[in-house]
Structure 1
């Protein structure tokens, strides 16, 4: 259950970042409000997960989901530049997060 919370928190982090981009510096009302909602949801779910998981691993997984998810969504939604090197770097993040998780981080 705790890992599901981390996954959901990471997905909310992606939504938070996309909302922040759409808010144009918090100057557009609805994306700004959705940014606040997703931020509270993401941190709230992460804090619940940390009751059962090691902070280092859970935080790394959360950040990894957010970083890779946001980069991928930016490429798809906002047409951010994509290159083989950028995709390889994102794959390295995924490998690192999986490695941390396999090394043991849950109770």
Structure 2
């Protein structure tokens, strides 16, 4: 649901009503505000869609998407291979978050796919 939804709750609502897709690619700086981004993730979750938190082209070493993926419990992040420093920064942030959470850290694995767990 990347090009179909473009992180838009309006488009996501329509897609849910029409039964298209099962996931939305969330690009924090695509829709406009953090609030709108959080609304899109919540709407997806409430309707058994997965949310994949992603960067956009021309990415920097900002690691906010790693924090967003963990905070919203999406279980998914799309940032590419470990071939460039801006990507490695995001993976390193995920490792630091895991260390900070300690025993509270969890990865949902297949549980992230709500539709498969019915």
Q: Same fold (TM over 0.5)?
A: no
Greater helix share, 1 or 2?
1
Q: TM-score, normalised by structure 2?
A: 0.31
**Greater RCO, CA 8 A, separation 6+:** 1
Q: TM-score, normalised by structure 1?
A: 0.33
